[in-house]
Amino acid sequence: MEVKHAIQARKSIRKYEKRPIPKEVMEDLLDAMRLAPSANNAQRWTIIVVTDQEMKAKLVPASGNQRFVGECAAYLVGVSEPGAYYSAIDMTIVLDHLTLRAVDLGLGTCWIGDFEAEEVKKVLGIPAERDVPICMTLGYPAQSPPARKRKNLSQLFHRDRWGAPWQ
C-alpha cells in the first residue's frame, strides 16, 4: 500500500471484531514503531501493549468509560521517562507510524485522549515518576465509518508569515 493511501484510509475505529492480533502481525507493528525517529535517537519512551481481557476491562473506567477500550484487541499505553522533555512528541510520532502500518495490515486504531493517567498508572503498575501522555486502541475494525470532512489548505496553512494564505 502506498503511504498516501494509508493516510487517506486511516480512520478512528471505535468498534472492533473480537479477534486477537497474530504474534507476527503484532511484531510487525511493534517494529514499525521501533523505527520511528526520536529526539537524539534516544527512544526515551515505552509502550505497554495490553492484550489481557481483564486488564483491558480495568482500563475502561480509567479511560473515560469508553467501552471500546475493553473491546479492542490491544490497548497501547505510552509511558515516558522522567526528564525526557521530547518523549511525548516522540511517542506521537511512534503511534502515528503504528496507525499507518495498521491500515496497511487491515487493522484500525483510535487515539485516546480521555483517560486518567494516574488511574492507568495504578492499574498497570507504572512507576509514579513516569508519565502517561497518550493511549491508543488497536484491532480489526468491525465498522467502516465514513471519512470526516477536513478543512481546505487555505484554512490551515499560511505562506511565509501569519495571515498570508496558502494559495
- Other Cβ atoms within 10 Å of 92 Cβ, number: 16
Tens digit of each residue's pLDDT (9 = 90 or more) over 22-54: 999 999 999 999 999 999 998 999 999 999 999
Calculate mean pLDDT across residues 5-30.
96
Task: Give the residues across from 110 on adjacent strands.
Answer: 137
Torsion of CA 16, 132, 34, 90, to 10 degrees: 120
Residue 128 three-state SS: coil
Helix (H) or strand (E) holding 27: helix 23-34
Torsion of CA 106, 112, 117, 123, to 10 degrees: -40
Domains of the chain, start order = 3-156 (3.40.109.10)
Has residue 104 got a pLDDT over 90?
yes
495498521: which residue's cell? 102
Q: Give every strand in the sheet of 108-112, ordered side by side.
A: 45-50, 74-80, 135-139, 108-112
Residue 94: its pLDDT value, please?
96
Residue 165: its pLDDT value, please?
86
Band the pLDDT of 80: cuts 50, 70, 90: very high
Mean pLDDT of the chain: 95
Tens digit of each residue's pLDDT (9 = 90 or more) over 110-148: 999 999 999 999 999 999 999 999 999 999 999 988 888
